[in-house]
A = this chain, B = another copy of it.
Amino acid sequence: MIKDSVLILSGGMDSVTLLHYMKNRIALAVSFDYGSNHNERELKCARYQAESLNIPHIVIPLSFMKVYFKSSLLEGGEKIPDGDYDSDNMKSTVVPFRNGIMLSVACGLAETKGLKHVMMANHGGDHAIYPDCREEFTHAMSKAMETGTYDRITLIDPFTNLEKHDIAKIGAEHGVDYAYTYSCYKGAERHCGTCGTCRERKEAFAKAGLEDPTLYEN
């Protein structure tokens, strides 16, 4: 197996699963620091997981996002809404075109390093809220990456049509330790258990029939 890919690794359940699932093809894992509490805890998990597999890992600072972009996710935990992940109030957590920005930077890194693909762990559960997680976006972005690079780099997004509990099952089969993944948008040390992403996390373990190793506040 040739290591031909850059993986976008947040430190949440999905990208950590993809890291383990595709470990033999990943030459570099890249995380992005946009300055939220949530992000800081995710990054610790990302680093831990990449190190556990001896996969090189870098963190790209995107500090301008906190200055210029509007999103409750960038403003800290107290503004994060409680409620279902799939509901309208979660829209305030959208960071405009975040996946486009991360994919573009990862694509530039891939070309610099002579790699052929960028991998991302977007999935079906994100589609209702986040336009930049849907298949029509990932197809168009892959085409943009392919036509915009000498090496015709493309996107690999194997989870696009899976649900989060499907991903948890794949992770369990590949020995992922989900205690070292972080989801909560409120960004406290312990998962809150009530925000949209915590509810989605709990539900994924339950639907997959897996034990949930997470310590929740509620």
A136 nearest CB neighbor, chain B only: B147
Interchain CB contact under 8 A, A132 and B112:
no
A92: chain B residues within 8 A (beta carbon): none
| Interface size in chain A (residues, C-beta < 8 A) | 41
Cβ of A104 < 8 Å from any Cβ of B?
A: yes
The contact of A143 among B109, B111, B143, by CB within 8 Å, is B143
Give, as a whole number of angstroms, the nearest-CB distance from A106 to chain B. Answer: 9
Which parts of A134-182 form the interface with B (CB within 8 Å)? 134, 136-137, 140-141, 143-150
Interchain CB contact under 8 A, A108 and B101:
yes
Given known A-B contacts A61-B63, A105-B101, A137 and B131 have beta carbons under 8 A apart: no
Bound Cα distance A96, B140 (Å): 19
Q: List 20 A-B contacts (CB under 8 A).
A: A58-B68, A60-B68, A61-B64, A68-B112, A96-B108, A96-B109, A96-B110, A97-B107, A97-B108, A100-B108, A101-B108, A132-B148, A134-B147, A140-B143, A140-B146, A140-B148, A141-B144, A141-B148, A143-B143, A144-B144
